[in-house]
Amino acid sequence: MTRLKPPSVRIGHRYRAERLKGPYDAIVIGSGMGGLTSAALLSALGWKVAVMEQHYTAGGYTHSYERQGYEWDVGLHYIGEMGAPTIPSRFMDFLSDGQLKWAPMAPEYDRFHIGDKVYEAMAGTQQFRDNLVRHFPAEAQAIDRYMDLLAQAKKAVPFFVTGRLLTPWLRALLQPLLRWKLPKAFSKTTAEVLAELTSNHELMAVLTAQWGDMGLPPKQSSFIIHALIANHYMHGAYYPVGGSWRIAESILPRIRSAGGEVFTYARVQEIIVSEGRARGVLMADGTRIDCDCVISSAGVFNTFERLLPADVARQTGYAQQLKHVRPSVAHIGVYVGLKGSAEELGLPKTNFWIYPSADYEGDTARFLEDRHAPFPVVYISFPSAKDPDFARRHPGRATIEIVAPASYEWFAQWRDSTWGQRGADYEALKAAFGERLMAHLYDKLPQLRGRVDFHEVSTPLSTDWFGAYARGELYGIDHNPQRFQQDWLTPRTRIPGLWLTGQDIMSCGVVGAMMSGVMTASSVAGMRRMWPLLKKIQSARKHQPAAPHAAP
């Protein structure tokens, strides 16, 4: 077992203008998985990279925070593909230099409560399929066709990615061929594709019960994101040993080894563009940092609405393009601290998804219309049970995280107030949501009554505060079919010297953001220079043995 530092989940170096050690070869805006991956890969090629993070710690949605002696993750509950030498696991190994270990969750990694019925997602293709057939014996054929479709989708992903990596003129030339290689299902919604397989609504609900992993119910989501997520977890789910903050902590040395740094409290105010190309960034403290390569991992709304001068966003067409995408739904989180270890409290290594009914679209619409309506989905995660190192760091304690969708508008009136000082009405609204979500927890695990020591509630304004998502977006831009047709969502922008990365480029998810980082670093450095490194990463010996249920 790797030796882990005592808990100090704050990662990075606090920014001060005098601490800059430029010139830098690249400046990355945002230290989420997309930004850190781009920075680390470029660093591995010898580039000196400064990563600018506005929050007090690095990691973006993979950061953790501490309160009252507890520690919680804010945007990572499980990851797939880490138990075998897959492409993502090899990149994780490389980025962390083998320092990041992954603990398998239970073979039943997700449990779905749909109305009064209970279903589960099982690790392993055959186990997953057989379990579905056990619940729906009359639908065996439809289930097999569904599994085939997922396999086809997996094969098509490289063509989709290639389309995003090409230079504009190559894309114009090759796009028809690449489109031809993509399954027809890629241009449809998840619900449209499933309706071609079955008319059993209960089965459809079970197949799409992970929709909370990207925030859109099946009639609105693209089948591409559905297939990416379903394939991602097909061989089971994993949790980072030591907590999600370990991701940024273990990537940081790669960036530092080439002379770079990850600066925290480092808000970029503007991307400087002159004579048609990016020239650097202007920091919120007024410091100008010159650099010919600026990579934005802050999301496309931040990049083109807030960071790029408005006239440049207009002239380059990005202001217009943003009208074709929309921010994803926001969320409420409850962070629960309990006295007693995960084992004593009987906490599972399985996530709970609680749905009032199989009518995901209707339930979501009713709730977003009226916040007093039942939550359309409540997600409960048990990090202290998943993390084999948690008890060492926090003996006699346990944590739980609860997530539910929310409308940013419910909280918008407090948008200009300061974190921690938003007033009694805001606190009361938060508390009411918190109590309702805690009731779901007690309903499923009644033994926890009387064991909760602390809980606090986050709102979409918290997401804006720590992640700079102005509308509290949970997953960046929405994953509807239209989003996946936007040819401008590529690492390369129309402004020379400005590049994009992160969840808006490929897809949400820690691995989605990481693979965007790979795409961006490859585009920035050029394939000729990046190829030997990519080959080395993909042929490296796997650091971690595969878990028994995880062989692909």
Ligand X SMILES: Cc1cc2nc3c(=O)[nH]c(=O)nc-3n(C[C@H](O)[C@H](O)[C@H](O)COP(=O)(O)OP(=O)(O)OC[C@H]3O[C@@H](n4cnc5c(N)ncnc54)[C@H](O)[C@@H]3O)c2cc1C
Q: If binding is defined by CB under 6 A, does position 249 make contact with ligand X?
A: no
Pick the piece of the chain touching ligand X (CB under 6 A) from 26-34, 186-194, 313-321, 439-447: 26-34
Q: Which of residues 273-302 bind ligand X (CB under 6 A)?
A: 297-298, 302
Q: If binding is defined by CB under 6 A, does position 240 make contact with ligand X?
A: no
Q: If binding is defined by CB under 6 A, does position 89 make contact with ligand X?
A: no
Binder of ligand X out of 502, 506, 530, 543 (CB under 6 A) = 502
When the beta carbons of 133 and 319 are compared against ligand X, the nearer one is 319
Pick the piece of the chain touching ligand X (CB under 6 A) from 73-81, 148-156, 316-324, 485-493: 73-81
Q: What is the DSSP string of 361-415?
A: HHHHHHHHH-TTSPPS-EEEE-HHHH-TTHHHHSTTEEEEEEEEEE-GGGGGGGT
When the beta carbons of 198 and 302 are compared against ligand X, the nearer one is 302
When the beta carbons of 457 and 508 are compared against ligand X, the nearer one is 508
Neighbouring C-beta atoms of residue 320, cutoff 10 Å: 12
Distance CA 410, CA 406 (A): 8
Binder of ligand X out of 12, 28, 31, 90 (CB under 6 A) = 31
Q: Which of residues 208-227 bind ligand X (CB under 6 A)?
A: none
Coil, helix or strand at residue 201: helix
Q: If binding is defined by CB under 6 A, does position 386 make contact with ligand X?
A: no
CB of 8 to ligand X, least distance (A): 18
Distance CA 404, CA 354 (A): 10
Q: Which of residues 454-483 bind ligand X (CB under 6 A)?
A: 467-468, 474-475
Coil, helix or strand at residue 24: coil
Coil, helix or strand at residue 93: helix
CB of 133 to ligand X, least distance (A): 27
CB of 52 to ligand X, least distance (A): 5
String of b and e for 46-68 (b: at least 16 CB within 10 Å)? ebbbbbbbbbebbbbbbbbbeee
Secondary structure letter of residue 60 according to DSSP? G
Q: If binding is defined by CB under 6 A, does position 78 make contact with ligand X?
A: yes
Binder of ligand X out of 75, 83, 337, 434 (CB under 6 A) = 75
CB of 80 to ligand X, least distance (A): 8
Neighbouring C-beta atoms of residue 251, cutoff 10 Å: 32
Q: If binding is defined by CB under 6 A, does position 491 make contact with ligand X?
A: no
Q: Which of residues 38-57 bind ligand X (CB under 6 A)?
A: 52-55
Distance CA 495, CA 311 (A): 13
Q: What is the DSSP string of 445-487?
A: -GGGTTTEEEEEEE-HHHHHHHH--TT--SSSB--STTGGG-T
# binding residues, ligand X (CB under 6 A): 40
Q: Which of residues 316-375 bind ligand X (CB under 6 A)?
A: 331, 333
Binder of ligand X out of 26, 76, 380, 550 (CB under 6 A) = 76
Distance CA 493, CA 309 (A): 15
Nearest alpha carbon to residue 107 among 525, 462, 549: 549
Which residues of the shown chain bind ligand X in the complex (CB under 6 A)?
A: 29-35, 52-55, 60-62, 75-79, 266-268, 297-298, 302, 307, 331, 333, 403, 467-468, 474-475, 502-503, 508-511, 513
